[in-house]
Amino acid sequence: MPAPFRIMGVLNVTPDSFSDGGQYLDAQAALAHALELERDGAAILDVGGESTRPGAEPVAVEEELRRVVPVIEALSAGGSRAQISIDTIKLPVARAAVDAGATYVNDVTAFRHDPELAGLVADRDLDCCLMHMLGEPRTMQQSPHYDDVVSDVKAFLEERLAFAVAAGIPEERIQLDPGIGFGKTADHNLELLRRLDELAAIGRPLLIGVSRKSFLGRITGREVGDRLAATLAANVLAFTKGATIFRVHDVAPLRDALTVAAATVRAP
């Protein structure tokens, strides 16, 4: 019987990510942290070299490659059993990452930035995640507006799913992410979590990324480093609404929280 959930550990090889920027710029430090995430229960390691926090500036291809490729090569050579994901919107970065050992592409633009990325995923038989984002990281939090955030996000994800399938990606290789915090207000984020089952009805696995995000701070009054309890609560709620993949910084406590939730909410 397949596991009821998978955890994606966050490995930001960046100087400016909102929560852990600068901590893992050194390849050896990044490798050590990745292996720790795997020991804690991460089934997927999501390696990113370009921050997507609100207001983030783009990173040149050469710099992004310099950051991520050595880490992925080291993970592949070091016997990691976790699936390696490349968090990028750029075809050259994804191609180099796959050559280094990645088998999963996590694209926050859902192949809108570089449509040819879908062809790489199809040709190399990779898994992928397509995320909803309003605008781009630099502008996405400037007065985001929706007629109905859940309906709008659902229509977007259905359209991008159809695009990916038309590009030759088998549907079973595709996961979807509503993009919590990506061009959404706190109320938008809460509405998406409240009605997540409507997105689960699309029929593809849902990935949720709420770890330490600012809307949790607005609710609780906690700073970034003190949002673990809020992160766990939001993820367990998402699990009860149909999410099955969870992108987080703190893997071990979430594994325990979801294990308890799975033993109760989804018990046979």
Which of 213, 227, 241, 255 is catalytic? The answer is 213
Taken as a whole, the chain contains a residue count of 268
90 is catalytic: no
**How far is the C-alpha of 172 from the C-alpha of 133, rounded, in Å?**
22
How many Cβ atoms from other residues are within 10 Å of residue 163's Cβ? 16
The 8-class DSSP code of residue 143 comes to S
7: which residues sit within 8 A by CB, 6+ positions away? Answer: 41, 42, 43, 44, 245, 246, 248, 251, 254, 255, 258
Which residues face 248 on adjacent strands?
9
| Token reading at 119 | 């062809």
Q: What share of the chain is helix, strand, coil (3-state, %, to 5)?
A: 45, 15, 40
212 is catalytic: no
User: For the purposes of burial, counting CB atoms within 10 Å of the CB of 187, is it exposed (0-12), middle (13-18) or buried (19 or more)?
Assistant: exposed
Burial 37-47 (b: 16+ CB within 10 A, else e): bbebbbbbbbb
Which of 90, 195, 247, 255 is catalytic? The answer is 247
Using alpha carbons, select from 6, 128, 24, 28 the residue that is nearest to residue 73. 28
Active-site positions read: 213, 247
